[in-house]
Amino acid sequence: MGLPKQCEIRLENRYEKGERNLITDVPGVKVGQTTIKDDSKDIHTGVTVIFPHSGNLFREKVAAGATVINGFGKSTGILQLEELGNIETPIVMTNTFAVGTALNALTKYMLKQNEDIGASTCTVNCMITECNDGELNDIRGMHVTEDDVYKAIDSASSDFDEGDVGGGTGMICMGKKGGIGSASRLVEFDGRKYTIGAIVMSNFGELGNLRIDGRRLDVCKENRDCCDKGSIIMVIGTDLPLSDRQLRRMSKRASVSLGRVGSYLGTGSGDISIAFSNGNIIPHYSDTKILKSAYLFENKMDTVFEATAETVEEAIISSLYHADTVTGIRGKVAKSLKEYL
């Protein structure tokens, strides 16, 4: 639900929030999660899956753009996304060593949904994103299975939890417990309201640097980490018709949000932003050679940029606010932001 009304944190918002204050306020978008926890075995990991729309994503691709803000990461699918400007599968968030497992599972899921893939048409470009949860999770144990990915896919709905759940179960952000966070904003063009939503898996930053609404929080009550490290995956969705070039520009503005909360995009951080629009559908098959599409007048993109920066900023803070204190592998404790408020 993003930041709840009773939250001790107050962010100055220029734009109206969506009904749930989640990325699923964008019509057709769904999110599913599998949380894998076993304290006795130091297991704190999971899977989060985002569906850009509720139809067949291979046959009806969404326009998309991506920005690799800092490239310390092991995601798959971004190369083709940058070339063709579309997404044709759900987007998976998980831990670094589960990328291969998630790739196999998502490929099998897409093959089951589309018997033409790899037979009468091309193969499929699966979107798998990751952050390293090894500070809290026994990442070497590689505990995520293909069934965990399928469970996340099958659980996809409009409502989902935030905090230390799904792919965010073992994540640390700004020295505190991070995880999954989401938010949404409404923008209006030509008398119609559109939604911009974001979901993040936060695992970046340096203890003592956290800022909320421009104010540095005095949370540095222990030795600071040596650097801004970890990673964050930011997925931005909208029903506003935008071209892949405009979506790439939109994805760049997530870096504004990172700066607002105190990150300086450290050398050891994989900061990746992906933006999609289900307001522009790209068919895999077409009876015509010329396709028509709509996109926003370029001079109005500033509204989109500002709303995006605001949405992603709240999603990051929400991932911290909803996470509980966790004791992980090697006795590492990641405390909840709520303990400091």
- Exactly one of 263, 269, 277, 318 is catalytic; which is it? 269
Q: Of the listed 75, 184, 202, 231, which one is catalytic?
A: 231
Q: Which residues of 213-228 are buried (b: 16+ CB within 10 A; e: fewer)?
A: eeeebebeeeeebeeb
> Any catalytic annotation for residue 271?
yes
Q: Between 99-113 and 146-154, two packed helices, what is the crossing angle to 10 degrees? A: 50
CA–chain centroid gap for 212, Å, is 20
- Provide CB contacts within 8 A for 112, sequence distance 6+: none
Active-site residue flag, 244:
no
Q: Known catalytic residue: 231?
A: yes
The label of the residue with tokens 């609404």 reads: 213
CA-closest candidate to residue 180, choices 93, 261, 52: 93
Instruction: Sort strands 232-238 and 270-283 into parallel, antiparallel or unpaired.
Output: parallel
Query: Catalytic pick from 25, 42, 244, 271?
Result: 271
Give the pairing of strands 127-131 and 172-173.
unpaired
The rounded distance, in Å, linking the Cα atoms of 48 and 87 is 17
Whole-angstrom CA distances from 263 to 8, 185, 202 are 22, 23, 11
Q: How far apart are CA 185 and CA 307, in angstroms?
A: 7
Residues with catalytic function: 231, 269, 271
